[in-house]
Structure 1
Amino acid sequence: MKLKALLEKRNNKVVEMKALLDRAKTEERAMTEEEMTQFNNLEKEIKDLDTTIEAEKRASSLEVIDDTKKNVGVEERAEAEERAFASYIRGVIEERADINLTVGDNGAVVPSSIANKIIKKVYDICPIYQLATRYNIGGTLNIPYYDEATQKIEMAYATEFQELESTSGKFLSIELKGFLAGVLSKVSKSLINNSQFDIVSFVVSAMADAISKWIENELLNGTDNKIEGLSTVTQKVDAASSTAITADELIDLQEAVPDIYQGSAIWIMNRATRKAIRKLKDGDGTYLLQKDFNAKWGYTLLGKDVYTSDNMPTMAAGKTAIFYGDMNGLAVKLSENMNIEVLREKFATQHAIGVVGWIEIDSKVENSQKIAKLVMKTT
């Protein structure tokens, strides 16, 4: 067994020993006979591993040991930081100081490798964020775009020796700032004390789920004076009813997006809206919305994938029930320096540990031609 694997096995045994002891302390009781037997067996295993580790070190050259400590590769570094993160939550301090977490007054700052795992998972489970045009930078970002809404470049017949008339659009820009948002996840110490529980995966998943749900809601609905998201989409089809959608209105919505942007277009709606559309038929009695095992989310409507989100409004008066288009027309700026901290003391009275995450994000429509919306009639 390699030295790295031996060290990991030893550290896991230490975590198990501390978990047994901490459980008894928490419940204010002595360790049971079974727990003492397990504790003593773990102690013996650790001593045996220490002997093997020492022998492995003696068999290795000093240069190899220094290289392991000082010139850790990116992948190995990430693994070490992940192990340190799990150990810190469980109250175990890593032996190697170079990968210990930075501890402040209120908790420890989580390594960037863990934060990157969370952002990667947000990308995987939030299609709107995944499909949007993403800018992972801090500060204010100005994105220029060419506007031909009122005037555009046009070619015309000309007469020799006469001046051509100049016609052109104009360059405008959208400004993406950084609005601060935070999320708190509390982890039960009972779970933490279970040595078989994958604490890192749990924290990454819990944080990513909370962040992705919030981001998706903001991208779809926006918030006044904060993130705009798709709330400012200008291409619009008005439904004739406040409670129902017709096949013609769906066709009108699809046609609102120019053919050049149809290639990657999708439908976004609430599940209740999809359910209503599933009952719509064309003139030949064929259902418009088709079950498609090859589709990204299981259904296609007029040849395009259908994505449902609980963050989308249902069919109600004045609400935007459907978005259609290429979500690449939405710009999202997320600061690449996501800040994650572990709060060990704050929730001690709740028998829990807190993991708090902070992001800076903004989003606006970058290309208004790529996306259209269907708005229900206002009663």
Structure 2
Amino acid sequence: MENPETPFVGTGPLDASFDLLARQEAADQALTALRSDIAEVKSRLDRQHRADSRLPLGGSTSPQSSSFTENYLRRGQEAELKSLTIGAPADGGYAVPTQLDARIAERLTAISPIRAIAQVVQTSTADYRKLISLGGTVSGWVSESAARNATATPSFAEIVPPSGDLYANPSASQQMLDDAAFDLESWLAQEIATEFGRAEGAAFVSGTGTNQPSGFLSTPIASTADATRAFGTLQYLASGDAATLGTAADGLLIDVVMTLKAGHRQGAVWVMNAKTLSAVRKLKDADGAFLWQGSLIDGQPDRLLGYPVVEAADMPDVAAGATPIAFGNFQNGYIITERFGTRLLRDPYSNKPFVNFYATRRIGGQVLDSEAIKLVKIAAS
């Protein structure tokens, strides 16, 4: 007699076929569930990517930068910064993450005309020094077995670019900060870079050297040639007229180019403001051809006598005694030093209901090689 509680287990081919179909159906159901889980995870990642992809300069937000933005910049939670910063200066503030600092530096280069053509050095200390060789080493020719006499000892000059703390203080309302769609990092980088660019652009041209860079137009000038002029003094060529560029301005500009040493002419540029550019663009050579050569390629600068022209709003206008035109290799001729890292202090109290972001950056600058830059001076001689 059969036990009713014992299930029938078949052993024939038909039973094996039913068993195979049941297992295949279970596998299909498991695969369908797995695909659904994968689609859900992908959907979450896509939503997160769209929420975090507000980066106009490219790249992705690092966890450090994101935490700094969300916890400190938006909400003012300073406790979150203990593991993110290297410390705070005496007057408060924190070193911003590398991601945000790189944004500021990139936009600053695009805004500041002299920074874009000069030599920029990142330093870890406020005191940067550089030795410049003034020549003096004597060489000679000898035979293979002849004695080598001692050569003269080269002389050096030490360059210590004066520097100062450059600051910006953009403001945003708390309502803007609370808006998740507001790209705080991009806005902050743009505001800081714009203020920094405006201030440092003037300092690199005519800075006094007291708590700020020493501008190249603040450097002593003389009309003597490179071989006889004192180190650290720029050479100028007079326009031949006490108040204008003179009637022979085309020949003057050619003389300026040829006065610069051949090695410095590789990479040299013209620097002047818009008003001076307007006057220079009207100049013609003896055959009636314009000296100015407009660029035929998008993104490439216009050229004057074959060399790029950089417009710097802080250059002086054409006037008696002014030096409105500079020509030279600024990579060799002018050095900009900056202590790496922007400091930032969130201040919600001074300008309520707005939140101020007080940013500082230590920047210095000075003429590096006084033979690499030439000036045009508005003077009779």
Q: TM-score, normalised by structure 2?
A: 0.69
- Per mean C-alpha deviation after superposition, the further-off stretch among 289-298 and 106-115 is 106-115
- Per mean C-alpha deviation after superposition, the further-off stretch among 77-86 and 283-292 is 77-86
SS in 2 for 1:373: strand
Alignment equivalent of 2:314, drawn from 294, 311, 320: 311
Aligned counterpart, 2:75: 91
Whichever residue aligns with residue 81 of structure 1, its letter is: S
Q: How does 1:45-84 map to 2 (within 5 A)?
A: 78-82=62-66, 84=68
SS in 2 for 1:122: helix
Aligned counterpart, 1:145: 132
Task: Give CA-to-partner distance per residue, 1:38-77, whole Å, 9 cap, x none.
Answer: xxxxxxxxxxxxxxxxxxxxxxxxxxxxxxxxxxxxx877
State the superposition RMSD in angstroms: 3.8
Alignment equivalent of 1:281, drawn from 268, 281, 284: 284
Measure, in 1, the Cα distance between the counterparts of 2:355 and 2:85. Answer: 16
Q: How far 1:311 sits from its partner (Å)?
A: 1.2
Contact kept, 8 Å, 2:71 with 2:80, in 1: the verdict is no
Aligned counterpart, 1:252: 255
Q: How far 1:188 sits from its partner (Å)?
A: 3.5
Structure 1: state its 5+ residue gaps: 13-74
Contact kept, 8 Å, 1:94 with 1:100, in 2: the verdict is no
SS in 2 for 1:367: coil
Measure, in 2, the Cα distance between the counterparts of 1:270 and 1:259. Answer: 25
Measure, in 2, the Cα distance between the counterparts of 1:155 and 1:326. Answer: 30
Structure 2: state its 5+ residue gaps: 1-40, 54-58, 220-232
Measure, in 2, the Cα distance between the counterparts of 1:280 and 1:299. Answer: 15
- In the alignment, structure 1 residue 292 sits paired with structure 2 residue 295: yes
Measure, in 2, the Cα distance between the counterparts of 1:122 and 1:11. Answer: 24
Task: Give CA-to-partner distance per residue, 1:274-326, whole Å, 9 cap, x none.
Answer: 10011110011100011113385541000001111111111122222011111
- In the alignment, structure 1 residue 219 sits paired with structure 2 residue 214: no
Measure, in 2, the Cα distance between the counterparts of 1:338 and 1:297. Answer: 31
Contact kept, 8 Å, 2:95 with 2:342, in 1: the verdict is no
Measure, in 1, the Cα distance between the counterparts of 2:306 and 2:103. Answer: 34
Whichever residue aligns with residue 238 of structure 1, its letter is: A
Against the structure 1 CA distance between its residues 370 and 109, is the aligned structure 2 distance closer, same or farther, given a 3 Å change threshold?
closer
Alignment equivalent of 1:125, drawn from 97, 107, 111: 111
Against the structure 1 CA distance between its residues 339 and 219, is the aligned structure 2 distance closer, same or farther, given a 3 Å change threshold?
same
Q: TM-score, normalised by structure 1?
A: 0.70
**Percent same amino acid at aligned positions?**
19
Alignment equivalent of 1:377, drawn from 365, 376, 379: 379
Against the structure 1 CA distance between its residues 109 and 257, is the aligned structure 2 distance closer, same or farther, given a 3 Å change threshold?
closer
Q: How far 1:89 sits from its partner (Å)?
A: 3.9
Whichever residue aligns with residue 85 of structure 1, its letter is: T
- Per mean C-alpha deviation after superposition, the further-off stretch among 185-194 and 234-243 is 185-194
Aligned counterpart, 2:38: none
- Per mean C-alpha deviation after superposition, the further-off stretch among 185-194 and 236-245 is 185-194
Alignment equivalent of 2:185, drawn from 182, 200, 204: 200
Aligned counterpart, 2:238: 238
Whichever residue aligns with residue 218 of structure 1, its letter is: A
Against the structure 1 CA distance between its residues 247 and 378, is the aligned structure 2 distance closer, same or farther, given a 3 Å change threshold?
closer
